[in-house]
Amino acid sequence: MTELARARVPEVGAPPAGIPRSATASLRELLERQFQDYTEQLIGLTVPGRLPDSDVHHPDTVRTLMRTARQGIADTTEALRRMSEGGYGRCGRCDREIPLVRLRAAPSARWCEPCQQHHASVRHGHEPGPAGC
């Protein structure tokens, strides 16, 4: 079991496939900043009286914001983990490389664009398209 688990992780600290080391460094910075932003947002929502805008106190709005912040923290944590363990920059569904331009726009992206769109359309109840990815 240990052998299996190890076999799935290529090399600890190995640069992600297809992504230059310099790009990885800036993506990591982006992720760390996002993580911090989400954390601060969540603290702001959790600690009463820290929100500057009183409109945001509406329970539904706060719930939505908290869910977004929690999801953001989870996504960025996961992306940073993949970055150090290997597998970052690869689509979790089709295993293709995620283009750098997409990672720059969404550093915590787990899926390539076609897979993401497919997922979104399935979730919205449309007919699932041909398995192009």
Residues in touch with Zn ion (CB under 5 A): 91, 93-94, 112, 115, 133
- Dihedral (CA of 12, 17, 23, 26) sign: negative
Q: Angle CA(32)–CA(104)–CA(34) in degrees, nearest 5? A: 25
The least CB distance from residue 115 to Zn ion, in Å, is: 3
Pick the closer one to Zn ion by CB: 39 or 117: 117
Pick the closer one to Zn ion by CB: 16 or 38: 16
The least CB distance from residue 43 to Zn ion, in Å, is: 34
Q: Which residues contact residue 4 at a Cβ distance below 8 angstroms, ignoring those fewer than 6 apart?
A: none
Structure-block tokens of residue 67? 């869910």
The least CB distance from residue 111 to Zn ion, in Å, is: 5
- Dihedral (CA of 95, 100, 102, 104) sign: positive
Q: Is 1 exposed, middle or buried (CB count within 10 Å of its CB: 0-12, 13-18, 19+)?
A: exposed
The least CB distance from residue 21 to Zn ion, in Å, is: 23
Instruction: Name the nearest CA neighbour of 108 among 85, 73, 79.
Output: 79
The least CB distance from residue 28 to Zn ion, in Å, is: 22
Pick the closer one to Zn ion by CB: 80 or 91: 91
Pick the closer one to Zn ion by CB: 19 or 133: 133
Pick the closer one to Zn ion by CB: 80 or 115: 115
